[in-house]
């Protein structure tokens, strides 16, 4: 190969590379996507669990929403107040006070307390129960099925099946809400971390039916309502409910309940 051919080939290759470099540089500037520095800073402050507990598609979605003013600076349930304060500083806002919430399972129908119609040995998943006889082996149609759909959904290992019912570890719970949406019986709710008194039953059945199916089910007798001095307890659909904004955790309703359906922890 002659020296001239080598020089020509070198010029062609070099020219092509130069052309591509210039083209990519121009294209990069023309089609560049502007980055919101606040959004990036907010994303860095978020924990990165991508649990969806905030109601947005992961931490990226929440960061974008906060930067646009479409979500509160303290919207991340996992990060809680500490992360909320960091994001508030980024946005130049006041984070306000955020009360920590934890998931709570409104049932205490353990293997000993809740009666069963038969022994079930099939697929261990609560969402499969509508397809088995009676909606599951337990005679209570409203209680925890105990097959762990909520356990599988929790990304923080904060909920476990103990003695036939789901129990939340409040120290590990981040209030992401995944267990709430997964429970087919709608037994799980968010309560204040400091709340000590809770109604551990969700049965809408009448008193006689409750007593036949569970030893600790609420029968809607309203004794708890009568002793509450703060109007925090009501009975709706045959089961007691507590208004946590009014409750002082005095425990009078716990003592008055003849069925031990109200817990004090």
Determine the pLDDT at residue 50.
Answer: 87
* Structure confidence at residue 81 (pLDDT): 86
DSSP character string of 94-142: -------EEEEE-----TTTB-BSS---S---GGGGGGSGGGSSBS-SS
For the chain, give the mean pLDDT: 89
**What digits encode the pLDDT tens for the residues 204-261?**
999 999 999 999 999 999 999 999 999 999 999 999 999 999 999 999 999 999 999 9
Block residue for tokens 């293997």: 111
125 pLDDT exceeds 90? yes
| Biggest CA-to-CA distance, the chain | 107
Q: Is domain 100-190 given the CATH code 1.10.1200.10 in the classification?
A: no
Residue 262: phi and psi, rounded to 5, are: -110, 130
Confidence at residue 51, expressed as pLDDT on a 0 to 100 scale: 85
Q: Per this entry, what is the length of the chain?
A: 265
Q: What angle do CA 91, 94, 100 make, to 5 degrees?
A: 110
Is domain 195-265 annotated with CATH 3.30.70.20?
yes
Query: Do the first three CATH levels of 100-190 and 195-265 match, i.e. the same topology?
Result: yes
Distance CA 150, CA 127 (A): 10
Listed range (85-89, 102-106, 223-227, 258-262) with the worst mean pLDDT: 85-89
CB 78 within 8 A of CB 102: no
Name the residue with tokens 């000993």.
Answer: 112
pLDDT at 17: 67
Question: Quick check: 39 pLDDT over 60?
Answer: yes
pTM of this prediction? 0.79
CA–CA gap between residue 201 and residue 57 (Å, rounded): 32
51, 60 contact by CB (below 8 A): no
Residue 21 confidence (pLDDT) above 90? no
Place of tokens 């009568």: 226
Instruction: Provide the H-helix boundaries in the chain.
Output: 3-30, 37-45, 58-67, 80-91, 149-153, 178-182, 207-213, 223-227, 252-256
| Cα–Cα distance measured from residue 60 to residue 66, given in angstroms and rounded to the nearest whole number | 10
Each residue's pLDDT tens digit, 146-189: 999 999 999 999 999 999 999 999 999 999 999 999 999 999 99
- 45-67 pLDDT, tens digit each: 999 888 888 888 889 999 999 99
Whether the predicted pLDDT of 32 surpasses 60: no
Give the domain 37-91 fold.
3-methyladenine DNA Glycosylase II; Chain A, domain 3 (1.10.15)
Per-domain residue ranges for the chain? 1-32, 37-91, 100-190, 195-265
DSSP secondary structure letter of residue 51: -
pLDDT at 31: 58
- Give mean pLDDT, residues 98-110: 93
pLDDT at 36: 74
pLDDT at 171: 95
Q: Is residue 1 predicted with pLDDT exceeding 60?
A: no
What average pLDDT score do residues 80-91 get?
90
């Amino acid at each position: 190969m002659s020296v001239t051919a080598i020089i020509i080939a070198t010029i062609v290759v070099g020219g092509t590379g130069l052309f591509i470099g210039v083209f990519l540089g121009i294209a990069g500037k023309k089609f560049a996507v502007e980055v919101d520095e606040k959004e990036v800073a907010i994303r860095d402050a978020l924990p990165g669990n991508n649990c969806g507990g905030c109601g947005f598609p992961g931490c990226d979605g929440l960061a974008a929403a906060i930067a646009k003013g479409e979500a509160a600076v303290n919207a991340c349930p996992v990060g809680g107040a500490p992360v909320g304060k960091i994001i508030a500083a980024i946005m130049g806002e006041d984070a306000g006070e955020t009360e920590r919430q934890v998931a709570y399972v409104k049932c205490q129908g353990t293997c000993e307390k809740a009666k069963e119609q038969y022994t079930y040995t099939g697929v261990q998943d609560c969402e499969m129960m509508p397809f088995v006889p009676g909606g599951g082996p337990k005679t209570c149609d409203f209680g925890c099925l105990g097959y762990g759909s909520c356990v599988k959904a929790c990304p923080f290992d904060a909920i476990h099946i103990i003695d036939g019912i789901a129990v939340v570890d409040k120290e590990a719970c981040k209030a992401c809400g995944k267990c709430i949406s997964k429970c087919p019986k709608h037994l799980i709710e968010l309560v204040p971390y400091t709340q000590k008194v809770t109604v551990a039953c969700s049965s809408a059945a009448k008193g006689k039916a409750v007593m036949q199916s569970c030893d600790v089910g609420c029968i809607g007798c309203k004794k708890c309502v009568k002793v509450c001095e703060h109007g925090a307890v009501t009975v709706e659909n045959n089961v007691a409910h507590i208004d946590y904004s009014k409750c002082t955790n005095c425990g009078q309703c716990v003592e008055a309940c003849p069925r031990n359906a109200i817990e004090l922890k």
